[in-house]
Amino acid sequence: MNKLIEIIKEASKLVTPDIEEEMNVKRMSELIISKVKEVSKESPYKPEVSLQGSLAKGTWIKGELDIDIFLSFPRNVDKSTFEKEGLDIGLKALSSYNPYLRYAEHPYVEALVDKYKVNVVPCYKVEKGNWLSAADRTPYHTEYIKNNLKEEQKLEVRLLKKFFKGIGAYGAEIKVQGFSGYVCEILILKFGNFINVLNYLSNMRKGDIISLGEINEEFVRSKFSTPIIILDPIDNLRNLGEAISYDKLALAILSARKFLADPSIKFFKEDGIFEFSQSILNNMVMVKFKHKERSEDILWGQLRKSVKALKKQIEIQGFKVFKYGVFSNNLDTSCFIFLLDSLNLNDFSLKRGPSVFSKENCDRFLAKNYESPLFWIGEDGNLYGLRKREKKDISSIIKSIIEKKSNGISKGIINELKESFQIIVGENIKGETWIKEEIIRFGGKNKLLFS
């Protein structure tokens, strides 16, 4: 217990902003908000300007802050006008800081002001439940947390966020599929503090429901079937657990158990937790390609669909895929990576035919496979034959998969993939620093969990 207390104290210093940072953040946010308010007055729709996110709630991690400023438009503003007005206000208000566009459900404006990322995001001012855009819930989330989170619990939220960040499970975006900042706040409200959340995760049951209010369990289970169900307190028809993938939940569960059994400050740090063996490269293949920049959620949706399709096609060809993954610089380059049992197949594949009691099917099987060097009757009474493979190495097979018409790869990236793909095998897998780091995460052993 003494070790746990010491580690928590050390981690608390990592996550708690000092007075200087708080003063700088306050000064900077007030400056930006005043600029946005001034420009907003020129709009015929007079959107309300408000500070949202972790800064408004006082739960940001030391040195890791986005300043989120929301523009709440009347609900009668049509979508195209809503988007145009939001961008115009954001671009003009942040014009001194080289603003640029980012994309979620709808575009918004972002800029780097000093060392802080500033977002100007439009939303609709609506009543609960009458949502017109995904961002409409945010002001209600902020209000709920500010009204219910105790001052001493802000540190607990910061610890939980940093823990999830350290193990690689922080963020609800499609790229990560982990725990959002809002979910961290909900978990602290539910269980009281950081350690209680870890104790819960260590012993949770599949399909647990987390709610801050009274629920009809039968109704909830009829609507949701995720491994963990976390109900949004401002919208009980929304399951926050849907954004958390099975593997990220499992990572959180195992990490919680390991931390409680053997506390270490390393759980709060993102570097140096993977041990990579070069020999693993001998069974890896990477597909690298170029593409145009787009919304991260759109890009990652396309990437995840495509890598699953490639995996399926590779397995159909006879390879055993142990593990597969995706990584991207979120700008113009992405990679699919596969860990296989072997990078080459043997000369022949086994073809199982029909039962001898099916005369027509037997005739068709023999005619179709007449070049087979060997046929035989199995103990099950079915015909079997060997088929000589035309392609045996993984590079040739992936190339043929990408080039064929029907392969399951997302239509949003297939043309860019065909035009620019490189297939890199084994020890030749190298690249920019970000690629090397991703390869280590993909193929390295997590020393915190498995040592």
Note whether 118 and 69 are within 8 A (CB): yes
Residue that is written with structure tokens 């959002």 in the block: 180
- Residue 271 clears pLDDT 90, i.e. is over it: no
In degrees rounded to 5, what are phi and psi of residue 248?
Answer: -75, -35
Residues sharing a CB contact under 8 Å with residue 381, sequence separation 6 or more, in sequence order: 355, 356, 357
Name the percent of the chain lying above pLDDT 70.
100
- Residue 294 clears pLDDT 90, i.e. is over it: no
- Residues forming a β-bridge with 119: 68, 110
> pLDDT per residue over 2-59, tens digit each?
899 999 999 999 999 999 999 999 999 999 999 999 999 999 999 999 999 999 999 9
CA distance 52 to 48: 12
* Range 161-186 burial, b when 16+ CB lie within 10 A, else e: bbbbbbbbbbbbebbbbbbbbbbbbb
CATH value of 17-136 in 2.60.120.280, 3.40.190.10, 3.30.1490.20, 3.30.460.10: 3.30.460.10
> pLDDT per residue over 191-226, tens digit each?
999 999 999 999 999 999 999 999 999 999 999 999
Query: What average pLDDT does the structure give for the chain?
Result: 94
Residue ranges, CATH 1.10.1410.30, the chain: 149-268
pLDDT band at 114 (very low <50, low <70, confident <90, very high): confident
In degrees rounded to 5, what are phi and psi of residue 262?
Answer: -150, 80
pLDDT band at 273 (very low <50, low <70, confident <90, very high): confident
CA distance 193 to 157: 8
CATH domain 278-344+392-446 topology: Alpha-Beta Plaits (3.30.70)
Residue ranges, CATH 3.30.70.590, the chain: 278-344+392-446
What 3 state SS string does the chain have? CHHHHHHHHHHHHHHCCCHHHHHHHHHHHHHHHHHHHHHHCCCCCCCEEEEEHHHHHCCCECCECEEEEEEEEECCCCHHHHHHHHHHHHHHHCHHHCCEEEECCCEEEEEEECCEEEEEEEEEECCCCCCCCHHHHHHHHHHHHHHHCCCCHHHHHHHHHHHHHHHCCECCCCCCCCECHHHHHHHHHHHCCHHHHHHHHHHCCCCEEECCCCCCHHHHHHHCCCCEEEEECCEEEEEHHHHCCHHHHHHHHHHHHHHHHCCCHHHHCCCCCEECCHHHHHHEEEEEEECCCCCHHHHHHHHHHHHHHHHHHHHHCCCCEEEEEEEECCCCEEEEEEEECCCECCCEEEEEEEECCCHHHHHHHHHHCCCCCCEEECCCCEEEEEEECCCCEHHHHHHHHHHCCCCCCCCCCHHHHHHHCEEEEHHHCCCCHHHHHHHHHHHCEECCCCC
Residue that is written with structure tokens 């491994």 in the block: 227
Q: What is the pLDDT of residue 360?
A: 95
Note whether 377 and 365 are within 8 A (CB): no
> pLDDT per residue over 357-385, tens digit each?
999 999 999 999 988 999 999 999 999 99
Name the percent of the chain lying above pLDDT 90.
87
Q: What is the pLDDT of residue 272?
A: 76
- Residues forming a β-bridge with 111: 118
- Residue 324 clears pLDDT 90, i.e. is over it: yes
CA distance 191 to 181: 16
Mean pLDDT for 290-305 is 93
Residue that is written with structure tokens 């269980």 in the block: 191
Q: What angle, 0 to 180 degrees and rounded to 10, lies between the N-to-C axes of helices 2-15 and 153-167?
A: 90
Mean pLDDT for 378-401 is 93
Q: What is the pLDDT of residue 1?
A: 66
Residues sharing a CB contact under 8 Å with residue 1, sequence separation 6 or more, in sequence order: none
Mean pLDDT for 290-316 is 94
Note whether 69 and 48 are within 8 A (CB): no
CATH domain 149-268 topology: Poly(a)-polymerase, middle domain (1.10.1410)
Note whether 60 and 48 are within 8 A (CB): no
